[in-house]
Amino acid sequence: MRSQSVIVLFSVALMLSACGQRDTSHTSSVNPSFQANASDALPPAPPERGPIPPNANAAAPGTNASEAFAKEQLEPAPKQAPKDGADQHLYVEAQDAAAKAPDTASADAAKREVLKEGSEGSSKSTP
């Protein structure tokens, strides 16, 4: 019993004696006089860039969208019928046909075809 208490007291004393020790393993603590002398001896750093060009705020060539698309004629977006529920099944079928298409162009074509067939069929069935 006595030997256990001696071991415990010895280990506590060892831990307490290590608490006040200065940590010399860090390399960040540099002698301040060395820093002052080193900065005095170094030449000034070169500038990181040259003077600012006069056209620094000008847009890069080819980035003006109004000029890029000025010659292109786009077809107007098709008007969509109100989706109040009367032809809702038609829009669902058109969306399913578009989802089965392998790419965007054929999906748009399939959607237009289903909507066109549905509008022709509904106009024929309407008295």
Give the pLDDT confidence of 10-45 residue by residue, as tens digits: 888 888 877 766 666 666 555 555 555 555 677 888
- Region 91-108 average pLDDT: 93
Yes or no: say if 80 and 91 are a contact pair by the CB < 8 Å rule.
no
Yes or no: say if 97 and 112 are a contact pair by the CB < 8 Å rule.
no
* 10 falls within a domain: no
The Cα 14–Cα 58 span in angstroms is 71
* 126 falls within a domain: yes
Alpha carbon distances (Å) from 70 to 59, 65, 75, 83, 86: 17, 8, 14, 34, 40
Tokens of 99: 């989802």
* 62 falls within a domain: no
Length of the chain: 127
* 42 falls within a domain: no
* 104 falls within a domain: yes
* 108 falls within a domain: yes
Range among 10-14, 58-62, 74-78, 119-123 with highest mean pLDDT value: 10-14
* Number of compact structural domains in the chain: 1
Q: What's the whole-model pTM score?
A: 0.32
The domain containing residue 106 runs over which residues? 83-127
* 4 falls within a domain: no
- Region 50-59 average pLDDT: 82
Yes or no: say if 68 and 62 are a contact pair by the CB < 8 Å rule.
yes
pLDDT at 115 over 70: yes
The number of C-alpha atoms within 13 Å of 70 and in the hemisphere containing its C-beta is 6
* 71 falls within a domain: no
Residue 80, SS3 per DSSP: coil
